[in-house]
Copies of this chain bind each other. A is one copy, B any other.
Amino acid sequence: MQYRPAMPGGPTQPDDSHLTPWSPLPAFPAHLHAAAAHIRLACFDVDGTLTDGRLYYDREGNESKAYFVHDGLGLKLLQKHGIHPVLITARNSQSALKRGADLGIDTQIAVGDKLASVQALCAQHGIGLDQVAFMGDDLPDLAPLCHVGLAVAPANAHPWVAERVHWQTRAEGGRGAARELCDVLLAAQGRIDAVLAGFGA
């Protein structure tokens, strides 16, 4: 792994050309490492998970919401490194559809039964629920969260969700929670060096 070279006339740094890159795993519970290494499908709720839960209404009632650029990169990294990401929302959210399309990621909107949706995805990908990670923040996410191999909630999830998941991220929804899970999955599956190499680091 390359590190920044010493600049002529610039700051000199200790020789850290062999820097061990940061890993999210030391902060991730040890008893969950095996589950994370096993994941092939990562499903994300949208409002409150990929967004901060704010629904912007204009005077005509058109709805906007804010996605987070770091989360988007995390989802693309999952895809590139062999973990299938999916957005699943109960709302009839055109913006979620567009966000998914921009990222090139499967997106399901107006989903009435998220658990059934996850089960169908498992059948389609030929995997078991134990190979699925699901991230959600409120009651409509409880059913899938209670049945997947890795159930994750953002830091600001509702208490009824927080007490039923395997792990809560340090970041809040729409502020890096999804990226935190992506990084954990990539790390647990030994992909950190490959990820960094893809960016010339």
User: What separation, in Å, do the CA atoms of A175 and B166 have in the docked complex?
Assistant: 24
Once bound together, how far apart are the Cα atoms of A138 and B99, in whole Å?
A: 19
Q: Residues of B contacting A67 with CB < 8 Å?
A: 54-55, 57
Determine whether A62 belongs to the interface, using a CB cutoff of 8 Å to chain B: yes
**Residues of B contacting A115 with CB < 8 Å?**
200
When all copies of this chain in the complex are counted, the total is 4
Partner of A68, one of B12, B55, B73, B159: B55
List, in ascending order, chain B residues with CB within 8 A of A147's CB: 4-5
Smallest CB gap from A57: residue in B: B95
**Residue positions of A touching B, CB distance < 8 A:** 2-5, 7-13, 19, 21-22, 24, 31-32, 34-35, 38, 47-48, 51, 53-70, 72-73, 94-95, 97-99, 101-102, 115, 128-130, 137-140, 142-143, 145-151, 156, 158-160, 162-166, 174-176, 179, 195-196, 198-201
26 A-B residue pairs with CB within 8 Å: A4-B145, A4-B166, A7-B149, A9-B130, A10-B38, A11-B31, A11-B32, A24-B159, A51-B69, A53-B68, A53-B175, A54-B68, A54-B174, A55-B72, A56-B65, A56-B66, A57-B64, A57-B66, A57-B98, A58-B63, A59-B95, A60-B98, A70-B138, A73-B139, A139-B198, A143-B199
